[in-house]
Amino acid sequence: MWAEKGVEFHFAPSAVVSWELEKDFAGIFKKYSRYSFWWAYSGDPVDRMRRCIIVFYTVLLGLALTHFAPAALALWGLYWSVRIFRNGGVLQTTRYLGPMGLLMSLPVLLLLDWCSIYGTLKGKLFLLMRPIPAQYGGSK
């Protein structure tokens, strides 16, 4: 669409993008659960990742409620290890925030998971109650 209007795009691999989180947990929850809501409602491909997070936490809860609680704890630890250390994330985080910043980022990451779960479930429920009209790309 933009290319049709004559807009040119250039790849800049050295570009640095930064952004700031909201100032408190309530603001973070509100913002990111809204993102997940609209992604789930619109059928955005990122929605698959959030559904995987929901399934993962459901399995963990099921294990924790049975006599497999140690397995649930081990899986949760593995998940967080991969999440924090993948793609050099811990190195980037500590470079910008220091070791204390890394420690403080853990509750934020957990909150973002719960925002995804809440927003995705709410968006899918809303989609069932109010489907997207066909003229806006919804199902016919």
Please give the residue range of the domain that contains residue 33: 23-130
Q: Is residue 6 part of a domain?
A: no
Give the burial class of 94: count Cβ atoms within 10 A of its Cβ; 0-12 exposed, 13-18 middle, 19 or more buried: middle
* pLDDT classification of 52: cutoffs 50, 70, 90: confident
What string of DSSP letters covers 107-136? HHHHHHHHHHHHHHHHHHHHHHHSPPPGGG
Q: Is residue 9 part of a domain?
A: no
Q: Is residue 135 part of a domain?
A: no
Q: Is residue 61 part of a domain?
A: yes
Number of domains in the chain: 1
Average pLDDT across the chain, whole number:
78
CA atoms of 34 and 86, how far apart (whole Å): 26
Q: Is residue 31 part of a domain?
A: yes
Polymer length of the chain: 140
Position 93 scores a pLDDT of: 58
* pLDDT classification of 45: cutoffs 50, 70, 90: low
Report the SS3 class of residue 85. helix
Question: What contacts 46, CB < 8 A, 6 or more positions away?
Answer: 39
The answer to whether residue 31 scores a pLDDT higher than 80 is yes
Q: Is residue 90 part of a domain?
A: yes
CA atoms of 108 and 90, how far apart (whole Å): 14
φ, ψ of residue 131 to 5 degrees: the values are: -60, 155
pLDDT tens for 72-130 read: 888 887 877 777 776 655 555 556 666 776 677 778 778 888 888 888 889 889 988 98
Q: Is residue 41 part of a domain?
A: yes
The pTM of this model reads: 0.64
Q: Is residue 85 part of a domain?
A: yes
